[in-house]
Structure 1
């Protein structure tokens, strides 16, 4: 796929998910997950693993943490003279004389359209940051070329749509694998073709499409335009078979954190040949005290553990005091937990301090969340 397809990661999609207080001060794309990663790492790594070396990220707002995490792109081998990684700010749109500042990914893309126009690749893949999967875009490109579709959308057939994919779009697909209409998953039926909000098309067609939509002024999001043009353009469907988690709520984030601890999911996502890349933050090894007991958990580097940790995820530099018990919880970077503390079904954002002898318990379906930098 190298030099044949460019990638766009869209953080300004119509879905615009919110993950409770975890996304109050950061975009969903940079929410920490699985001990050392951010959500955007999965989509970005899928592109890099597929040979895509020109990636643009359309930011929305609160993207300081995004630029801090991505840096020059060197951790994804995207610090290059040709191609590379580009974070494209939506603020440029405020000075656009033709269209002004308007909400929606159409106008964010339009404000930075010169980046796409100058790119040499023939095709463009657009994907969100909140769909966690391990997909080979080379297979998608081959399918798209063979099908002669104007646009090919990626989907997954699931049997748990009424539980895990609330408000995601669903595709009605005919026998020729063409998309006939798009609906919204209202959690009514378990079986559904879940749209992964990922599609491929020719780069020149994509540019023409953006200009056309903007000139009409009818749509703010490219997704709306595609849905309303199904009778006029050929939109095909590519079936993805692997693990998929859509992070659009606190519940789905917590479930993903638990699922990553299972052997099957961990092997597919983290232990395959398709590596998940992230910002390198080397730390000293974790220290386990004489009272430490850890079971079925992910423990990052630089931690100090002198208590019990079960079915939980600990990020870097977390400290667990003597006699403390951590169960079914997510403890983010640099949290300090005192002695004789009990945490169950709890998510601690960064730099939270829990003093001695505290007991915090959330529900397994709706965990308790403590905001960043809080002291309890």
Structure 2
């Protein structure tokens, strides 16, 4: 094992609107049966990284439950493992994580006790497949201090919600601007970094001494002219779900055969915590077209161009179009849902209508059902 993994999954994001009122962004359901963090964890295990730390903080309960066992991703039991770190009050520190660099600083003992020479840092809010060993080989070949995985956005896509990058011919980063008001480059950082472990410890300790807490602003941007920071371009599917609209479109991408095949049928696989649920049931009179329907669902109505997560119930004469129905939702008879995201554990009353007229509508009914 040449690298240890760190997944940053503690941030709060108001752009997700009601969707993150009760869960972290990394715990958002994706593609019917997965959580968003499953993709980063699967990439780690598929890259033979056996020791991974996940740093959680905001609304971490459901995420911590999901990460309760390392067996789902087959991380090492004796020589590695899955470590979940939340903020802890100690003699020296009584703060929450004040930023990404501070989150690593508060868990620096973990890095100091590791023996792997390199660290792969990634976020838990992106959907993609990647062999981190390819980036690591590139990092070593370039003799880089830090390597940033970046991607070229298609023309017209909003780059202002990412960090934008400009590189020279040798791929060394010349300019790095975090979430600019106006984007001057279409190349963005994907939030995946490779760095030597000892150097990361030194940079994080130095940032903490100066009361600097953000990894991008206080390390990458601050040191871009002092350290050899290179970009590594990827061309495959990569999507960040940090806004409600991006979350909707990322899920809808899974209705495209090429995206489905890339994640579900091509090696290596994506792993997740498995639920013991029966197959989906389609009753007489149901009609389903171009949709993902997960295990445990019961369908009595019409479902078109939609994604139904686990244990969704669709009543008689219901019509669901271009929508995402989250886990354990009950849709009463004669309901009409279009261009919506229906929050999990909701009961949508019979004979109701929800349509996203100007963009995506998030449906949250104040009638949650609680298990005893």
Q: Runs in 1 of length 4+ with deviation above 6 angstroms?
A: none
**Distance apart, 1:105 and its partner CA:** 2.3
Q: Retained in 1: the 8 A contact 2:304–2:320?
A: yes
Pick aligned residue for 1:221 from 208, 214, 218: 214
Pick aligned residue for 2:112 from 111, 117, 122: 117
**Distance apart, 1:269 and its partner CA:** 2.3
TM-score (norm 1): 0.92
Q: 1:369 to 1:212 in 2, by over 3 A?
A: same
2:8 is aligned to 10
2:49 is aligned to 52
Hey, what's the Cα distance between the residues in 2 that align with 1:102 and 1:284?
A: 40
Alignment of 1:1-376 (within 5 A): 3-12=1-10, 18-78=15-75, 80-90=77-87, 92=88, 94-97=89-92, 103-160=98-155, 162-184=156-178, 192-217=186-211, 219-224=212-217, 225-363=219-357, 365-370=359-364, 373-374=367-368
Hey, what's the Cα distance between the residues in 1 that align with 2:159 and 2:86?
A: 29
Q: 1:245 to 1:100 in 2, by over 3 A?
A: closer
**Distance apart, 1:175 and its partner CA:** 0.8
Hey, what's the Cα distance between the residues in 2 that align with 1:371 and 1:119?
A: 47
1:77-122, CA deviations, whole angstroms, 9 ceiling, x for partnerless residues? 12612211000112x2x32527966612222222211111111111
How large is the RMSD of aligned CA atoms in angstroms?
2.1
**Secondary structure of 1:55's aligned partner:** strand
Gaps of 5+ in 2: none
1:135-187, CA deviations, whole angstroms, 9 ceiling, x for partnerless residues? 11111011011000000000001224x43444211101011100011124558
Hey, what's the Cα distance between the residues in 2 that align with 1:371 and 1:186?
A: 36
Q: Retained in 1: the 8 A contact 2:164–2:180?
A: no
Hey, what's the Cα distance between the residues in 2 that align with 1:29 and 1:364?
A: 27
Hey, what's the Cα distance between the residues in 2 that align with 1:76 and 1:372?
A: 35
Count of residue pairs the alignment pairs up: 368
TM-score (norm 2): 0.93
**Distance apart, 1:348 and its partner CA:** 1.1
Hey, what's the Cα distance between the residues in 1 that align with 2:58 and 2:367?
A: 21
1:269-298, CA deviations, whole angstroms, 9 ceiling, x for partnerless residues? 222102111110021111111101100000
**Secondary structure of 1:360's aligned partner:** strand
**Secondary structure of 1:343's aligned partner:** strand
Q: Retained in 2: the 8 A contact 1:10–1:127?
A: yes
**Secondary structure of 1:121's aligned partner:** coil
